[in-house]
Every structure is written in structure tokens, then in C-alpha cells.
Amino acid sequence: MGLWVSACACWLGALSLTHLAHAQVSAEQKAAAEAVFEEGMRLIKQGNFAEACPKFEMSQRVEPAVGTMLYLAECYEKTNRSASSWAMFREAASLAETSGQTERMKTAQARAARLEPHLAWLTIDVAKDALVPGLQIRRNSALVSPELSGTPTPIDPGDVTVDASAPGHLPFSTKVNVASEARVVVAIPALPAAPDAAPLPTPSAVPRPASEPSPALASVPQAASPAQESSRAPDGHASAVPWVVGGIGVVALGVGSYFGLKSVAKANDARDICPKGICNSEQGASAASDAHSAAKISNVSFALGAAALATGVVLYFALPTKHGAQVGMLPMLDPTSVGLALRGGLDL
């Protein structure tokens, strides 16, 4: 039987945020962002929210700003994408708080709170027997980690297709309609084996070498070979994984501290340039954006460090020398983030 320990080890989103923090937006890109923003504003005044949303999305990708996020969240709400609107208002509130824009922060928080009671929630419940190697779950073509099984997730109302597939198994697919304020559960059953799937190889009997003592004669404990001794960690553990994971945690906490200090410094710069929280200068907007990016990296790094250190401690006590250990990484993907999950196990 196997005893499994799992923990989030690393969010790849931290890498993309680091890249964003150091990227330089050219004057041409800023001009393009401003142009599509103005086009989005024109479409909103005409009541054409469906076409306005992509304009604000494009502007936000090139040059993130609280004002753009607020208009984009409004656009999502008007097009019945309540979960997307709620998430965008919350992100706008976080950025506004970091950049000292108190009034916009309060506005975004109030709008998110107003939306929350009307959100639609979808729970994907994966049966234990369905957790086979290579299992992939998709929600409207977007990958969903099996680790999120049983966790309610806000989702935009409408038709939702949930698919599950795994090598050597027949796929599963179902479509549900999720209405506003509804809570829908989709159960993923055990996937039946495909008729033409190749059978799993069975281990063949290995003849015992003539020189190997029989069980009846092997009553005297044998000393560990040099190869076995060299595979042990200095403290007697059979695996160096706890030390590696703990080291990752220490590094991540250091990264979080660096970007936390950088976020505070940039936020102070933004407040000095825009003391009333309303900033029309390019320098102030840039400082606020840099502060927001650094804050995100810091938050993610601290979360990574804490999770990695906790995982290292658990693995340290869960991997004694008399048990075999297995450790692996699983992808964690959804429409807004990318990550890895560290899973370890030992055979008892």
C-alpha cells in the first residue's frame, strides 16, 4: 500500500511575472495600448460591450493599469461573465491598493462584493478509481488539475463541457448548463479500459543466482554495500528530496523578500509622484505598475517558500530508510495560471 503526501511546490506564474517586471514597454506599444483603450471606450458609449471587451483585454496585456481593469471588469459583467468580472475587480483592487489609489480600491472591492452572491460555481469531483496515470481533465478545452477535485470554482454562466481522458482508457465527456447563483457538481467516474489497449506487462520470475543464500540460510543481517551506503543522505534518510525541497523554499523566501522590498519602494515612488492617488504622468503610472508586479512576485514567492519548506519537513519524516520513496511533479493548469504540484509517496 502507498502513503501519499502532496503539496504545491512551485507556480510557474512567478517566472512570467518576473519577466513582466523586467520587460520594457516601448513607446509604440504604449501608443497602441492607448489607441485600443480609446476604441473600447467608444464601443462602451455605443453599448457594444461584446466588442469592447477584447479591446480592453489587448490594452491591459500591453500596459496594465487599474483604470483599464475596472472598465474590463465592467465589460465582463455586462456580457454575463460574472466570474471573470469578479476576478478582475479583485485584481484591480489589489493593484489599486499597491499603488495607493484608495478610492479605486474601494470601488473595485465593493463591485466584487456585490457580484459574489450571484456567482455560479462548478465542482469537478474525480472518483478515486479514475485517478490513473496520465489522467487529463478539461473544462471547455482548458486543462484542470485533478488535484482540484472537489473544490468549487467560480465560473461564467452558460454551457460547460467537461472531458476526462487517460492513455489506455475510454474517454468521458459531459455537458452541463451552469446558471447564475447555481452550484453544479460534475462527477468523473472511473474510466473503463479501452478494448484495444495493450495489457500491462507482468513481472516475470527471476531465477535466484546459485551464489545467493536461500531465505532459510539468510538469518544473519548483511552489512550494507558501499553503493547502498552512498545512496543514503547524511542523516540516514534514503532520499535527498527533503533537503532539495527545503532549499527551494529558502530560495523562494529570499526572492519574496527582495521583491517585497522592491514593491514597497515602487509604491512609495508612485505616492510621491501621485500623492492623491490620481496619476496622469507616465512616470507615476510606470512606478505603480512596477509596484504591482513586484508585489505579485513577492506574494507568489512567499507562498512557494512556505509550501516548499512545509513539504520538505513532511518528506523528511515520511521517508525513513526502510521504505522506498517515489517523488514526482504534476502539471497544474487553468485559464489563469500555470503551476506544478510536487507529489511524493512511500511504499509500506
- Mean pLDDT of the chain, nearest integer: 74
pLDDT band at 247 (very low <50, low <70, confident <90, very high): confident
Averaged pLDDT for residues 76-80: 94
CATH pick for 120-188 out of 1.20.120, 2.60.40, 1.25.40, 1.10.10: 2.60.40
Least confident of 91-105, 162-176, 266-280, 301-315: 266-280
- The count of C-alpha atoms lying within 13 angstroms of the C-alpha of 106, restricted to the half-sphere facing its C-beta, is 3
Distance CA 250, CA 256 (A): 10
pLDDT tops 60 at residue 227: no
Does pLDDT of 184 surpass 60?
yes
pLDDT attached to residue 231: 40
DSSP of 282-345, one letter per residue?
HHHHHHHHHHHHHHHHHHHHHHHHHHHHHHHHHHHHH--TTSEEEEEEEEEEETTEEEEEEEEE
- H helix and E strand count, the chain: 9, 10
**pLDDT at position 206 over 70:** no
Backbone angle region of 50, left / alpha / beta, with phi > 0 → left and psi within -120 to 50 → alpha: alpha
Check if CATH label 2.60.40.420 holds for domain 24-117.
no
What is the structure's pLDDT at 287? 63
Q: CATH topology of 24-117 equal to that of 120-188?
A: no
Residue 22: Cβ-neighbour burial (10 angstroms; 0-12, 13-18, 19+): exposed
Q: Which three cell numbers stand for residue 251?
A: 530560495
**Domain layout of the chain by residue ranges:** 24-117, 120-188, 241-347
Characterize 89-112 residue by residue with b for buried, 16 or more Cβ atoms within 10 angstroms of its Cβ, and e for exposed. Answer: bbbbbbbbbbbbbeebbebbbebb
Cα separation, 22 vs 42, in Å, equals 32
pLDDT exceeds 80 at position 142: yes
Q: Output the CA–CA distances (angstroms, integers) from residue 42 to 64, 112, 253, in the order listed.
A: 19, 25, 45
pLDDT surpassing 90 at residue 197: no
What is residue 25's predicted lDDT score, i.e. its pLDDT?
59
pLDDT grade for 189, boundaries at 50, 70 and 90: very high
Kindly report, residue by residue over 89-110, the tens digit of the pLDDT: 999 999 999 999 999 999 999 9
**pTM (2 d.p.):** 0.49
Is 66 in contact with 85 (CB distance < 8 Å)?
no
Q: Are the CB atoms for 43 and 55 separated by under 8 Å?
A: yes
Question: What does the pLDDT look like over 22-59, one tens digit per residue?
Answer: 345 578 888 888 898 999 999 989 999 999 999 999 99
**Whether residue 65 has pLDDT greater than 70:** yes
